[in-house]
Amino acid sequence: MRKSMVLVISLGLLLLGSIAYVRGQGSAEQGIGKAIAVVSPTQGSKVKGIVTFTKVDNGIKVVADLEGLTPGLHGFHVHQYGDCTALNGDSAGGHFNPEGMQHGAPAAKDRHVGDLGNLAAVADGKAHLEWTDPLLSLEGRDSIIGRSVIVHGNADDLTSQPAGNSGPRIGCGVIGIAGK
């Protein structure tokens, strides 16, 4: 009786282990296809919204829908840390820059990986952006998963070092893996 019970338990554990292994293999082969950041306001701001990052053939498609902005341009970047705990957003660190490049425009050859340029808010305070970025990645050493998205109070001038003179951080969201 004892041997048969041990055998049944062993087979059950083997089956569970096999299922977990197969599930893990499927995930690894498919990779991460989509990420999301829910942007919340920093202290004194009303900015909120959603930013998605979706793997496409030529890079990562970024779609941002935000509200609570003042009309005009607002710097928009991926920052180094996925930490939005500081009331002013400073806990997110600087722009994500794994290659040690100079700050620049999103279409520039040499730029921070996190340089996404500007969001354009219209009169009602809403902004929509769609951009396919060739440098962003959802996997590997330069992955943006676990980092943050920051929305700034002013326009990014796309040239000033180290961060484009974009002003205060008015919105922050941690980038996480999204469901399909």
Whether 115 is catalytic is yes
* Per annotation, catalytic residue among 90, 115, 133, 156: 115
* Per annotation, catalytic residue among 74, 112, 133, 156: 112
Whether 74 is catalytic is no
Query: Terminus-to-terminus CA distance in the chain, angstroms?
Result: 47
* Per annotation, catalytic residue among 74, 79, 111, 147: 79
Whether 169 is catalytic is yes
Whether 95 is catalytic is yes
* Per annotation, catalytic residue among 74, 111, 147, 169: 169
Backbone torsions φ then ψ of 136, nearest 5 degrees:
-65, 150
* Per annotation, catalytic residue among 74, 90, 95, 156: 95
* Per annotation, catalytic residue among 74, 90, 103, 147: 103
Q: What is the DSSP letter of 43?
A: T
Q: What is the DSSP letter of 175?
A: E
* Per annotation, catalytic residue among 74, 133, 152, 156: 152
Whether 152 is catalytic is yes
Whether 77 is catalytic is yes
Grouping H, G, I as helix, E, B as strand and the rest as coil, residue 80 is coil
Could you tell me how many residues make up the chain? Answer: 180
| Spatial separation of the C-alpha atoms in residues 97 and 112, rounded to whole Å | 5
Whether 112 is catalytic is yes
State the CB neighbour count (10 A cutoff) for residue 180: 5
* Per annotation, catalytic residue among 74, 77, 111, 147: 77
Q: Are 84 and 148 in contact (CB under 8 A)?
A: yes
Active site residues: 77, 79, 95, 103, 112, 115, 152, 169
